[in-house]
Amino acid sequence: MDKLFIALIILVILGIVVVLIYLLDRINTIEGRAGFASGAVQAVANAVSGVDVNNGFDGFVGKKLWDAVCGKANPPLDTAALASLRERFEPILEKHITELVEEGAKDATAGANNSPKSSRTISTLRASVESWLPPQHVSSLYKAGYEASSNPDDIPRIGQGLDETCETLYARCDLRLVRPFSERLLGPQGPADAAPDGTGIDTPQDGLPALENASGTDAGAADTDIDSLDDFSVAPVKRK
């Protein structure tokens, strides 16, 4: 009788073990399917957005990238990581600013007036990333290009406003602006830039300059690091 009872207990224990193994296997299978589905959804989302989260910017995109560069990442980045992120973001910021000014100039030439979005996909040889800038600054940059193309005689004032906006953006990222964007995008504007013959300001004959990369040149075809505004090639945009 005792042997029969012990045998029953052993059978019950073995049954429990078998059931546990089965349940664990099912749980692992379900988790695997869920992980696959999540990965598939994320892959589709990335494909639709055209933004690779493994973009060389620590996985930050859009407004989160901007916040991180401004020192507002959550959790916070250490000093070395933040400095590295800002260095990598600087050419993205340069291209974002330049494209907005150029877009405004082209819209003025075409007789259109649009409201650009805060987010824009910026491409370089190394990566494509969704860049985000505060809406008020996006509007100011677009307006600067639009007004400079529409009213070239007012370029000195427009250039001053453009530089103030760019200096604010660079300051928020704790980056040093070496060369004013007005000088690069709008042409010479001050007495120091007077023409060699002394007749006055040596302004571009064909009007507001604009980036070649929007009219055919690959946006990432500049120097690999795009360390300065000198990496941007410009060509005239005809005035209205």
Over residues 131-175, the pLDDT tens digits come to: 999 999 999 999 999 999 999 999 999 999 999 999 999 999 999
- Residue 44: pLDDT band with limits 50, 70, 90: low
Judge whether residue 214 has pLDDT over 50.
no
> How much is the mean pLDDT over the chain?
77
Q: Which helix (H) or strand (E) holds 143?
A: helix 135-150
Distance CA 87, CA 207 (A): 32
Over residues 216-233, the pLDDT tens digits come to: 334 343 343 444 444 433
DSSP 201: B
Judge whether residue 207 has pLDDT over 60.
no
Distance CA 131, CA 34 (A): 31
Read off the pLDDT of each residue in 111-117 and give the average, rounded to a whole number: 93
Instruction: Write down the pLDDT at residue 187.
Output: 77
Q: Are the C-beta atoms of 100 and 43 separated by less than 8 Å?
A: no
Read off the pLDDT of each residue in 60-83 and give the average, rounded to a whole number: 95
Over residues 78-93, the pLDDT tens digits come to: 999 999 999 999 999 9
- Residue 38: pLDDT band with limits 50, 70, 90: low
Burial of 108 (0-12, 13-18, 19+ CB in 10 A): buried
Tokens read off for 81:
């990581």
Instruction: Write down the pLDDT at residue 126.
Output: 73
Read off the pLDDT of each residue in 64-70 and give the average, rounded to a whole number: 97
Instruction: Write down the pLDDT at residue 51.
Output: 43
- Residue 33: pLDDT band with limits 50, 70, 90: low
Instruction: Write down the pLDDT at residue 26.
Output: 85
Distance CA 172, CA 112 (A): 31
Tokens read off for 149:
């193309």
> Which tops the pLDDT comparison, 182 or 51?
182
